[in-house]
Structure 1
C-alpha cells in the first residue's frame, strides 16, 4: 500500500531530515518499507544534515550520508498521505501552499498525541492508515499539548540538539507503531 509521508521544517537540515530518517528507520524495524521524505519552507537546497543533527542520527544508528535538503513545493505536498511539520507556523505555511492538505497535515507532536489516543496498545480499529489520519483530523483540537512545536536547534547548544532529536524520535516511534497497527504494510 502506498502511504507517502512528508516531513517539513524550515531549512530541511535539522528537524525534518531527522523526522524523515528516524520515521523510516522505525518503520523498517516494524517490517515496513517506508515512503518518507522531507522538505524545507526555506530550504538550504542541496545541503547535508546539520553536523549536530547528524551526530544525533549517528547516535541512534541512522544513516544520513545520502541526504540532500530540498525546497517545499506543492508538488511534494499533494501526493502525501500524511504531512508532519515541526511547528504550527510551518503547518500554516504548508496549508497556504496547498489548502486541500488540511485533513492530512499536522505538527509531528500533534499527530503523535492523536496516535497515542486513537490506537489501543493491543490493536487498532482502523483497517488502513488513512483512516487513522482521517480520524485524527476529525478530532483535531481534542488533544491539547502544552507545546506542539519542536524548537529549531540550528546554531544552538548540543543539549538543544539532543533534546530536539529525543522529541522527534519519541514522536516518530509512536507514529510508526500506530501506522503499522492501522494496517501499513
Structure 2
C-alpha cells in the first residue's frame, strides 16, 4: 500500500483492527443496492408543489406502502396512511378530532406505530444500520431501534415490546414519534435529490 495512504490512515485510526473494520465496511457498502435518486427541474419558485414532491418522494412513499399493505388495506386506507406520512402534523390533528374517546385513539396509535415501524424497515432496506440510525429522530433512536429489530420468531420479549409502545402513548409521546417516523420515511425513500435548472421564478 502507498506510504501516503498509510500515513493518512494512521492519522484517523490508532490500530490495525479499526482500519480493517473500516475497509470491510466500505467494501460491503459498495455492494448494497443503489439508492433512489430523484431529479427535479424548472421549479420556478413553486415552493408548495416542490414540498409536496419531496414529501411523497415522487410517489415512492405510496408505492412502498402499497408493497407492504396491499393485501391487508383497502385503497382508501392506503391513501389515508400515505397522507399521514406526507403531512403528519396536519393529519394527526384531523384524526384525533375524529375519535370519540381516548381508548379508541390509543388503539389507533398502537396500530399506526406498528405500521410506521414496518414501513421504516422496508424503506431502509437498501441502507446500513448506521445510515438508518442517523436518519432517525434523535430523541427516539433507542425506542425505534428496539422496535425495528423486534424478533417475531420468539415470544420471550413480546410483553417488552408491547410495554414500549404503551409507555410512549401513556407519556403523551405518540404524536411526536409518529411525526418523527413520517419524516424519516420521507428522507429514506429518496437517497439523493438533484435540482436541475431554474430554481427561482423568471425575473
- Tell me the TM-score normalized by structure 2: 0.27
Identify the structure with the greater strand proportion.
Answer: 1
Higher relative contact order, structure no. (Cα contacts within 8 Å, ≥ 6 residues apart): 2
Q: Which structure has the bigger radius of gyration?
A: 2
- Tell me the TM-score normalized by structure 1: 0.29
